[in-house]
């Protein structure tokens, strides 16, 4: 993910804004990569360290990175929302 994409996502999602309802925030916090995806991420990371990623695998790894960043931003917003609702 480019810095521009990351900045745009941050402005759109506003992770520091506590605007999610508690049930929505809890559902967002339950999101994450499944075991199969985590294994694939590990495989791609190993190949990247070895310098043996194919072009298709590089695209796949970048896709996982973008999705992971999006999920991280959403989870940050969810944590802020839950903390705000409990305050």
For 3-41, write each residue's pLDDT tens digit.
898 899 999 999 999 999 999 999 999 999 999 999 999
Find where tokens 């360290």 sit: 49
Residue 86 has pLDDT above 90, yes or no: no
Residue 59 has pLDDT above 80, yes or no: yes
Q: What is the pTM of this model?
A: 0.87
Buried b (16+ CB within 10 A) or exposed e, 25-62: beebeeeeeeeeeeebbeebeeeeeeeebeeeeeebbe
What does each C-alpha distance from 41 to 21, 56, 75 come to in angstroms? 31, 14, 20
H-run or E-run covering 8: helix 3-13
Q: What are the structural domain ranges in the chain?
A: 20-86
What mean pLDDT is predicted for residues 32-61?
Answer: 98
pLDDT at position 76, please? 95
């Amino acid at each position: 993910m480019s810095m521009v994409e990351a900045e745009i996502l941050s402005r759109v999602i506003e992770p520091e804004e506590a605007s999610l309802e508690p049930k929505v925030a809890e559902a967002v916090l339950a999101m994450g990569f499944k075991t199969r995806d985590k294994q694939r991420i590990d495989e791609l990371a190993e190949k990247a360290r070895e310098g043996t990623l194919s072009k298709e695998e590089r695209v796949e790894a970048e896709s996982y990175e973008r999705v992971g960043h999006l999920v991280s931003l959403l989870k940050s917003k969810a944590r802020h929302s839950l903390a705000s609702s409990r305050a």
